Chain A
Amino acid sequence: MNDEDNFLAEAFRRQLGAMITPAAIRAVEEGKSATALWAELNESGFVDAMLPEDAGGAGLDLAQAFPLICAAGEFAMPLPFAETMVARGLLARHGVGIPGPGAIVMAASSNLLPGARHADHALVGGDGGSALVAITAQGDDLFNTGAATSIEQGELIATFAAEPDTVLVCAAAVSSALMAGAMARVLEMSLRHASERQQFGRSLGKFQAIQQQLAVLAEQVLSAQVAARGAFVGASFDPVRVAAAKCRANEAATVVCNIAHAIHGAIGVTAEFDLQLYTRRIKQWQLAFGSEVYWGARLGLARIASRAETTADFLRLQLATKAD
């Protein structure tokens, strides 16, 4: 990350602040058309940020894309922006044309496909490589977040050579960064609420019991953020790094949601209050694309397969930040 990257991320956050307001999120969740909002996102150019510059993109690598995805999580992005940005980048790298202006989700094997309700296309994976398909129907949206329990695949648009789990790894990586961003916002909201809400004649944040809980909340958020950042290095996602990121994000999510709602009390789940916009999304990502046990097992096997003398060696060689 250099100054230019920070500038880009800041510019994106400003746009999101204007575009993805809580009112806009609620409108999408209430079933109002998201066409205009998606068009606006498309026109912003950020959805193409991972395309090469000669294809109209900004040529962002994973490390540069990371803050944009976090920002999408931080604003409870109701449309599959991050998924589409990463999918377009992946397609471009494999020489597959962008299928049109619509959103693309990563339909790896998962009981929930976040964003699928708003997507026209999906990437699907398998032993024979990956494929770009049209979506013709979607299953239930169980969290009212635009997710679907499944998709019906229509036309096969393109296939490309990839590892059998490439789509799953991409989907889990994107989810962990979106979760990290959303959890950071949940921390911020909890701190604000704790300073504003008065009980027993003083603000909640003055109670030691609350302070200790908020400290734990901050720890879990930071740990998940650092783990997610660790998955966004190099040219393409490394399954070992993604395993650590999604495992950590999922574990943290339980603690983060519990504490944030404990701090807020009942108001936190009401429709008029914004907290639930974030925590419903965090919970859907928790259920999607592999749990802490799934990714933990993959990471554990990778640790064993590495034959590293110590776990410190494994952390250093396979999970540490790499020099530019």
Chain B
Amino acid sequence: MSLTLENFPPATLPPHAEALRQEVKAFIAEQLAGVPTHIRARTWAGFNADFSRAMAARGWIGVTIPKEYGGAGLDAFARFVLVEELLAAGAPVAAHWIGDRQSAPLLLHYGTEEQRRTILPRICNGELFFCIGMSEPNSGSDLASVRTRAEKVEGGWKLNGQKIWTTYAHKSHYMIALVRTSGTSEDRQNGLSQFLIDLSLPGITVRPIMIGTGDTDFNEVFFEDVFLPEDAIVGTEGNGWKQVNAELAFERSGPERIYSSLVLLDLWARLLGDNPDTAQAARLGRLVARLAPLREMSVAMTALLTQGHSPITEAALFKDMGTEIEQQIPAEIAEAVAAHPDVAADPELLRTLAYLMQLNHVFSLRGGTREILRGMIARGLGLR
């Protein structure tokens, strides 16, 4: 096994997808008029329910979900165009992000007809926001060791345990959680199942975690004898690990893995003016040169996904490099700004830079750490 250029066949976004772009640009220009860059820099970490509902009103949440379930019935290419424009502009997409990217496709693929009928239309109309329950206090990268357990009881399941680092759980309506339904953490990937959890149920406590910047995107979520109905299970009991892995290519292959610092890059580029010195032009160009093949890879993987492939190793390789450039952009611009201590930097540039400098080190943690991804690449290379 190896990884070659053939793993990323050249692909283009088809005209029907590109046709969406100008409309999306116009929408964003109108919605985000006057929003400063340091707020835009939050992109897919920025939670704005009004913005998400305005998106839903356009039919732009769940675009890949079939029309019969409330979606737009478009393909992954259309979603790529939509998401690329949203991220490049720094639109606050967090409220609907998880539901749109992962939960709705998961329910479409593995859910029951009843789950699809009741949940999908409400994701698509911006009514329901989702979070993902994966990590636990003692299960980070070692996800298969999760201990939160759902026990079979009369008429359903009884859930006990705890999730942590659950992004926007405190503002979400539902969680899709990976929990143990049989065996022990010694059984690793076996005996895990996914559940659709209504976060308003009794026995659930959501406690925000404040991070050093003062932000509270993360949460601890506690489950104490939570009764889940029979039909809360998603897919097949015991099949949770496989289902979670099927999501990985979707979670790791998108433009959100390369554009998290883009609004900063573009503000800085604008401020360079028409005649930057060679060093600054080279700094900008080298970052662009790294972004270019990554965008190509992302489009290529979108094509592979539409063809029914699951490019998990490719997505790991892309995400590892993508988050590296997302981290590098603030680092480079910080270096450029601080290289001239005697020159007053643009205040908005400084604000945006300061925000990203305090968070860029975690860009490589969310959605699978660098070390885990490189381990997956090594497996793809036949080393493990």
A322 and B283 form a contact (CB under 8 A): no
Q: Which residues of A contact B278 (CB under 8 A)?
A: 293, 297
Q: Which B residues between 250 and 282 are near A, CB-CB below 8 angstroms? A: 255, 259, 262, 265-266, 269, 272-274, 276, 278-282
A218 and B3 form a contact (CB under 8 A): yes
Q: Name B383's contact: one of A191, A225, A312, A315 (CB within 8 Å).
A: A191
A300 and B283 form a contact (CB under 8 A): yes
B382 and A230 form a contact (CB under 8 A): no
Query: Known interface pairs A212-B371, A218-B381, A312-B84. Does A303 touch B285 (Cβ–Cβ under 8 Å)?
Result: yes
**In the assembled complex, how far is the CB of residue B193 from the closest CB belonging to chain A, in whole angstroms?**
30
Query: Known interface pairs A222-B8, A313-B88. Does A206 touch B288 (Cβ–Cβ under 8 Å)?
Result: no
A244 and B289 form a contact (CB under 8 A): yes
Q: Which residues of B contact A206 (CB under 8 A)?
A: 383-384
**Cβ-based interface call for B57 (8 A):** no
Contact with B along A59-88 (1 / 0, CB 8 A): 000000000001000000000000000000
**Cβ-based interface call for A323 (8 A):** yes
Contact with B along A197-227 (1 / 0, CB 8 A): 0000000011010111011101100111111
B321 and A300 form a contact (CB under 8 A): no
Q: Name B292's contact: one of A194, A208, A230 (CB within 8 Å).
A: A230
Complex Cα spacing A205 to B375, Å = 11
Q: Name A188's contact: one of B2, B279, B281, B317 (CB within 8 Å).
A: B2
Query: Known interface pairs A205-B383, A218-B3, A222-B317. Does A311 touch B266 (Cβ–Cβ under 8 Å)?
Result: yes
A297 and B282 form a contact (CB under 8 A): yes
Q: Which residues of B contact A227 (CB under 8 A)?
A: 289, 292-293
The count of residues in chain A whose C-beta lies closer than 8 Å to any C-beta of chain B is: 60
Q: Which residues of A contact B88 (CB under 8 A)?
A: 310-313
Complex Cα spacing A309 to B383, Å = 43
Q: Which residues of B contact A321 (CB under 8 A)?
A: 10-12, 296, 299
**Cβ-based interface call for A106 (8 A):** no
Q: Which residues of B contact A302 (CB under 8 A)?
A: 285
B281 and A297 form a contact (CB under 8 A): yes
Complex Cα spacing A248 to B296, Å = 14
**Cβ-based interface call for A319 (8 A):** yes
A212 and B374 form a contact (CB under 8 A): yes
B262 and A300 form a contact (CB under 8 A): no
**Cβ-based interface call for A316 (8 A):** yes
Q: Name A304's contact: one of B2, B274, B290 (CB within 8 Å).
A: B274
**Cβ-based interface call for B209 (8 A):** no
Q: Which B residues between 210 and 233 are near A, CB-CB below 8 angstroms? A: none
Instruction: Report the nearest A residue to B273, measured CB to CB.
Output: A304
**Cβ-based interface call for B4 (8 A):** yes
**Cβ-based interface call for B136 (8 A):** no
**Cβ-based interface call for A51 (8 A):** no
**Cβ-based interface call for B74 (8 A):** no
Complex Cα spacing A206 to B375, Å = 11
Q: Which residues of A contact B259 (CB under 8 A)?
A: 312
B320 and A219 form a contact (CB under 8 A): yes
**Cβ-based interface call for A229 (8 A):** yes
Q: Name A316's contact: one of B10, B295, B297 (CB within 8 Å).
A: B295
* Known contacts A205-B383, A300-B288, A321-B12; 8 further A-B pairs (Cβ under 8 A): A191-B381, A210-B383, A211-B384, A214-B383, A218-B3, A218-B377, A299-B289, A311-B288
22 contacts between A and B (CB under 8 A): A187-B2, A191-B382, A222-B3, A222-B297, A247-B285, A248-B290, A248-B292, A251-B289, A293-B282, A296-B289, A297-B282, A299-B288, A299-B289, A303-B284, A304-B281, A309-B266, A311-B262, A312-B85, A312-B255, A313-B88, A320-B296, A323-B14
